[in-house]
Chains A and B, each alone.
Chain A
Amino acid sequence: MDRVSRYSYINAKLKAKLGVMRSSGLIEAMIKAPNLTEAIGLTAGTQYDSLSTVYEQSGDLQAVELELFSREIALQEFIIRSLDERTASFVSVLLKKTERENIKNAVRLWYSANILNHRISYRAAYIYKDRIVNDIDWIRIINALSFDDVKAVFRDTSYYPVFQPWTDQRLANEGLFDFELELDHSWYDELFAAVSHLDKADREVAVKVYLVDVDLKNILNLIRYGYYHSFASDKLPAVFIPHGSLYSVLEPRIEKGQLSFSDARSLIERRYPAVGSLLGQLDLRTQQSVSHDELAYGTLAVENYLASRRKKEFTSILTGDPFTIGTILSYIYLCKIEDDRIKLILSAKYYGWSEEQIRRELN
């Protein structure tokens, strides 16, 4: 199948949907809404119409969030159905990121019930339980009495190597952080392996966007854990996703266990000068021993900058060749950030945040 036949229908459809998304004033109106009920009510008659239906039936924000998650999956499944096998299998890898999110949610719930001994009661209902990419028995995870039972669910999937070394005891001692990090990193491994199976034009677009994306994600992790959570230098290599241009330069030091925070930082300043200047401001705050909240806002400023860079990268693909996978990558990304914004606004309304606070979070 040639590129024009493969992409003309789906890309035209997605571009039209993007046009509708861009022209909508929904986000702005939701920010201004005085409370949660009115904010969700605004979605009626828009492409997020199902959210208001779910809310009117349940009054439950978490049910609305589950609906948002289901929409995200349905959207990617629609794209997969419209593509030929090779491209569809690549988009399935993208959907696996969403599947990983659901795995994390299910495992967190299990962890909460079994390790932290918390009551989870109705919370199990907010786990997406249908098939995403793999046949995963979500109910078995939620009801598992030990981590071995959870592991058994994943035995025939590509996730098993991540689960295999973990035990109840290890999770009780170390928490979920490293486990989730490994799960995230394994997605990047799958992603870059899948990119190599794409045809030349698609591969070029995907490599270009994901190499920058992984760099930005690495910077984000470094700032989040290096500055905000003040990780020791020896723990930093673990948060590094082993892909991208930053990692390839730092890899020899990481392997020798010689990576320091300042090494990583000076490399970032060289490659991404704008991030460097934001880090300078963050340093100033750290030296002045400002409050934790102010440090959080400083970190948030850098995070927002990185998010806007990522958005720019994914949006710029839309101006390129219309008959590549670029439009699909861009659409999935832009929909995800739109969904995240809506989720954030709704949570903010639930907790009674001011318009100003919401805008600061949304940047």
Chain B
Amino acid sequence: MSLFTVKMKMLTAVVLDGYSDKVVKALLEEGVMDFVHISQLDSDQAQRLSSHRADVPQGTISDLRGRCENLLRQGNIDLPSINKAEVDSLGRFNAEECRTLLDGLSGKINELRDKQKNCNQKLLAYSELLSYIKEKKTDYLDLRYGKISEDRKPEDLAARLSSYCAVTGQDEKGWLVSLSLRRDSSRISEVMDKFGWTENPHGSKTAMTLASSLVSQKIEEYQKEIDQLVLQISQLIRKDEAQLSKMWIMLRVSELSEHVESYFSYTKNTTLFSGWVPASRAGEIETVIYEASKGKCIIEWTDDSEVDRDKIPTSVDSARILAPFARMVSNYGTPEYGSVNPTPFTTVAYIVMFALMFADVGQGLVLLLIGIIGGQYYKKHPMAKDGLISRYLCSLLMFLGPASMVGGLLFGSYFGYSLFPALWFNYHAVVNGHAEGGLVSSVYDILGITIKFGIIVIYTGLILNWINLFRKKRYLELVFDKNGLVGGALYALGIYACYYFVGTGYRSLPSNPLLYAGIIICLVLLIVKGPVYACHRAKLSGHREKVSAVITDTVMDFFVQVLEIFSSFLSNTLSFMRVAGLGIAHVSLMTAFEDMAAMTGNIIAYVLIMILGNVLVIAIEGLSAGIQSLRLNYYEFFTKYFTGHGIAYEPVGFTSRVRTE
């Protein structure tokens, strides 16, 4: 893991046309190159080059790949992984061959599905009969018990009636039973008349039972047939598994190659391409290209210092274990190239915030267990869809559970009970007003702690911003920006003044002349910011702005900046009071459940209420604390140093998720 974003280098290579295919495959295998269009580099040179012309349109390859994936999915076959040996053994891609195979297979499946449909329709019809029998809706049924002419066969009658989804059978006395839907009665009667049906006037008590078993038998028959067809479809696909897998690899490689080659430019005999790779992999990539092109290539490297930072893609190298927090960062945006990697800081800030809001050893243990069990489940069932407790949540709970447990140890909370002495202070006792002595004895003390925590977080954000600005060589911003040194100084002076004011019981402001001198210096710096920036712009563009315009901008900017610095720092700091708020709510809820449980005077009711209380608190408070921690990171912490304006580094390789349409 690196503290800053990964250092990049831009490669520009020219290879002989005949080797470009091998180079593409070698680069795909490495999967570290983020390609850029040559046209973006040098417009004069680009005009002399021709662009890539695909043999088969990319859309066709993507469609075929999609069809292939679809069939593999229907056969419950996982997508194959692509490795070098398989790529080397691939033959020439032939769209027509692929299409023929896919059409043939898909046509056969279609035929089987058609048979499945017919069975399903029969199944539905008999299921309707059975549901009326089970629900005793005999009004909708037509049960007949009788005989047919001796010259007619019962099998013929059964065959004729089966088109109405009626069942017929013979009981032990030789009488025939027929069950159909009453809505088909007239048509059934017509058929039966032709068979000379005579109804038994005494009826039978067992006729419905016999009919019911006949219907169940039919349902079973058709269900079996459907299962058989589903199995046949699966077997049909599995029979061609090897061919389909190979085809998928071929299509995917062709698709990726086409995607990569779309960045290429060509002269008569050479191929020219360019892209970004991590500086640490530069030597490796160079070797790969040399080997693939048998040395018939020219490679040039461009250092990151020679290109505008805002054009360099950002790669963030975070430890794998921090993946849940890396995702929080990427959801917010991509860090600028060369800036601080926000993931480790986010990890610490998020975990501490959560621990302060949701501090309980028992409940933390439950969160940890959910994370472990969920993680194990998804490990065993890699194809399972994410449920309410998703894969991501499980991995996050692996951090939040222990964090909550540590918080519980510090504040002495075990499923809402103070079973052991707190290592820091007893949160329950403080909130419920019976804390004895100690540095923290009231909710105001807790609020004070969270505000101090907020100040630490905000200052960390400011310091990270100063480091980023220094590395980006944006010295003017470093000094004059609201999140720069002036803003930081004003914030520090404001904190000092506020603490003094609170310390005197809200009676007087500090009289220290250094404070006022500091404020005046900062305000002067904010005023001179306008003219300094104007001079800088003039120096860069060689064009001087009108003095009146500079003065107007300076005055406007000064007022806006002052207002923004005072209001935003104040609100950002006070925002951290929510950490205390959530913690207090957590304790209050557990106390309320305990009181309710005690009122019952029954041990079983007591235990049930406490279990229910814990479940509700874990679900509701846990969710709340998670959301509030995220919110504090995004709005109070990230806004100080993380612009999210970077370009994401998206290398193309066999395992990358590039989708080309």
Contact A59 B117 (CB under 8 A): yes
Interface size class for chain B?
35 or more
A58-B186 contact given A37-B109, A41-B73, A122-B125, CB 8 Å threshold: no
In the complex, whether B228 has a CB less than 8 A from a CB of chain A is no
Complex interface bits, B54-69 against A, C-beta within 8 A gives 1, otherwise 0: 0000000001001100
Contact A122 B121 (CB under 8 A): yes
In the complex, whether A124 has a CB less than 8 A from a CB of chain B is yes
Complex-state Cα separation, A132 to B128, whole angstroms:
21
Contact A60 B116 (CB under 8 A): yes
In the complex, whether B120 has a CB less than 8 A from a CB of chain A is yes
CB within 8 Å of A: which B105-129 residues: 106-107, 109-110, 112-117, 119-122, 124-125, 127-128
Q: Which residue of B lies closest to A45 (CB)?
A: B73
Shortest beta-carbon distance from A116 to chain B in Å: 12
Q: Which residue of A lies closest to B70 (CB)?
A: A41
In the complex, whether A319 has a CB less than 8 A from a CB of chain B is no
Contact of B113 among A36, A119, A120 (CB under 8 A): A36
Contact A125 B110 (CB under 8 A): no
In the bound complex, residues from chain B placing their C-beta under 8 Å from that of A125 are 121, 124-125, 127-128
Interface size class for chain A?
20 to 34
In the complex, whether A35 has a CB less than 8 A from a CB of chain B is yes
Q: Which residue of A lies closest to B122 (CB)?
A: A122
Complex interface bits, A79-98 against B, C-beta within 8 A gives 1, otherwise 0: 00000000000000000000
In the complex, whether A169 has a CB less than 8 A from a CB of chain B is no
Contact B139 A122 (CB under 8 A): no
CB within 8 Å of B: which A45-79 residues: 55-61, 63
Tell me the number of A-to-B contacts counted with CB atoms below 8 Å.
93
Complex-state Cα separation, A56 to B75, whole angstroms:
11
Contact A56 B120 (CB under 8 A): no
Contact B125 A56 (CB under 8 A): no
Q: Which residue of A lies closest to B66 (CB)?
A: A29
A113-B183 contact given A34-B106, A56-B74, CB 8 Å threshold: yes
Contact B117 A37 (CB under 8 A): no
Complex-state Cα separation, A61 to B102, whole angstroms:
22
Complex interface bits, A33-44 against B, C-beta within 8 A gives 1, otherwise 0: 111111001101
Contact of A143 among B107, B112, B140, B164 (CB under 8 A): B140
Contact B187 A119 (CB under 8 A): yes
In the complex, whether B165 has a CB less than 8 A from a CB of chain A is yes
In the bound complex, residues from chain A placing their C-beta under 8 Å from that of B230 are 56-57
Contact A119 B115 (CB under 8 A): no
In the complex, whether B103 has a CB less than 8 A from a CB of chain A is yes
Q: Which residue of B lies closest to A118 (CB)?
A: B187
Contact A35 B70 (CB under 8 A): no
In the complex, whether B249 has a CB less than 8 A from a CB of chain A is no
Contact A145 B183 (CB under 8 A): yes
Shortest beta-carbon distance from A114 to chain B in Å: 7
In the complex, whether B284 has a CB less than 8 A from a CB of chain A is no
In the bound complex, residues from chain A placing their C-beta under 8 Å from that of B112 are 59
Shortest beta-carbon distance from B417 to chain A in Å: 36
In the bound complex, residues from chain B placing their C-beta under 8 Å from that of A60 are 116-117, 120-121
Shortest beta-carbon distance from B106 to chain A in Å: 5
In the bound complex, residues from chain B placing their C-beta under 8 Å from that of A29 are 63, 66
Q: Which residue of B lies closest to A126 (CB)?
A: B124
Contact A63 B120 (CB under 8 A): yes
Can you spell out 9 A-B residue pairs with CB atoms less than 8 angstroms apart?
Answer: A34-B103, A42-B66, A58-B117, A58-B120, A59-B120, A60-B117, A121-B125, A121-B165, A125-B124
Given contacts A34-B102, A38-B67, 6 further A-B contacts (CB under 8 A): A25-B661, A35-B106, A37-B110, A44-B73, A56-B230, A113-B183
